[in-house]
Structure 1
């Protein structure tokens, strides 16, 4: 069965940056990724590259920044009041997830001052060319429940017992 809309795809991936440094590896966690093709569960460019492939296929997909997490935007580096952070111990490099206009966003602390904090709301991988080494493990038809939810459901529980969740 080939990858097409309304099908659940199970795959392993290794994500690397342009220098070949591994940033994420599903095999290292022993947890493959399941996604519902055609439902925006993964990046559109990855979906396009995977379309038509079948279980057993391996491919490498390289994404330019605009196809992945976008270009870096210097306007997204901002100074905010210190009171916006509940933690007393803040340090450069710390990351927080906050609500954003388009869903949750990651905020990275760049500098901590007495009365303010300089943060970067660009995605940590913004501006980077990324390479995905993909191995398709399984392709199957989605269930009605999965189509209704818009993502794969765990196989060992009933659909009503599954909480809404976002795929990585």
Structure 2
């Protein structure tokens, strides 16, 4: 079976970015712990899926995504300062730490601490991989049709479709 909308895809990947002109390894999914997802329902980066379209079990892939097609360019307006009184009674976060935050509508997101002053904590709300070009290399392990239950739930129930909830 070839990858198409509403198929369940299990794959391996090695992910690299480029820093100072050098390719740097970021993370991987292995045959023992593959990435398994429902294709075509908006779970993955659109250009990631586009590069996998039509591949089948056993096929290898190797492609690059420009930052704009991955997590976007870094947006300088997404760097802000949180008032120090938000952290009263707590240890001030360290530079590089990640803070779990929530907006007024209950949406959860993360902010990376980039500075600490007496008056506040400077945070970067950009995705950690914003501004980075991505390089994926891997292999398709399995492609199958999604079950009706998976389609109605909008997510995969395991590589073989039988994961308990």
Looking at structure 2, the residues matched to 85 and 62 of structure 1 have their Cα atoms a distance apart, in angstroms, of 40
Distance of aligned partners of 1:136 and 1:85 in 2 relative to their CA distance in 1, 3 Å threshold: farther
For 2:140 and 2:61, the matched residues in 1 are separated by 9
Structure 1 outlier segments of 4+, above 6 Å: none
Unaligned runs of 5+ in 2: none
Question: 1:39-79: CA deviations, max 9, x gaps?
Answer: 11111001111010000011111000111000001111111
The residue number in structure 1 matching 2:82 is 80
Higher strand share: 2
Is the 8 Å Cα contact of residues 106 and 124 (structure 1) preserved in structure 2?
Answer: no
* TM-score (structure 1 length as normaliser): 0.86
1:129 corresponds to which residue?
133
- Find the residue that maps to 2:80 and give its secondary structure: strand
Which residues of structure 1 form unaligned runs of 5+?
163-168
Q: Normalized against structure 2, the TM-score is what?
A: 0.87
Distance across 1 between alignment mates of 2:52 and 2:102: 30
CA root-mean-square deviation: 2.0
Change (3 A) 1:45 1:85: farther
Query: Out of 104, 109, 132, which is 1:105 matched to?
Result: 109
Q: Which residue among 115, 140, 143 is the counterpart of 2:119?
A: 115
- Of 10, 25, 29, 2:28 maps to 25
Corresponding residue pairs, total: 158
